[in-house]
Amino acid sequence: MVLPRVWINYKPRIYTDIFKYLFSTMGLIEVVEAPPTGQDVRGMAEGKNIDVVLLSLDGLGQPDLELPAERLKEAKVIAFSPKGDYGLLRMPGKTNWEELRPFGLKQLMDELVVETT
């Protein structure tokens, strides 16, 4: 089974650490570390592509993207509220976001497990 390669950049940072620990221990995903400044996300970790990017939502309910969107266009991007009431999903190669309500841990796990099949 090929594990999806996931880059997690969730704020506050403690959530990133919790997600990394949880998913790594469960063996559901391969966690990829954040790239050095100026490096393309797709070129991270031994030249392999990133399958999924996990992000937080900003104060306006929009994905908190620190990198230009074109760098993430080949990955599934999931941004969600820590309250579990709202999430956004953008599929690889797409520009539109799909709204997901509610979006809690179960929905997140479902999105990651779909990647592995």
The pTM score is 0.82
pLDDT single digits (tens) 13-39 = 899 999 989 888 888 789 887 654 455
Residue 88's CB is within 10 A of a number of other CB atoms, namely: 20
Residue in 45, 55, 89, 95 with CA at minimum distance from that of residue 73: 95
Q: Angle at the Cα of 12 (from 79 to 74), degrees rounded to 5?
A: 30
Question: What is the per-residue pLDDT for 73?
Answer: 77
Output Rg (C-alpha) for the chain, integer angstroms. 13
Strands, E assignment, 1-117 = 5-9, 30-32, 52-56, 76-80, 87-90, 98-100
The class that CATH gives domain 5-116 is alpha beta
Per-domain residue ranges for the chain? 5-116
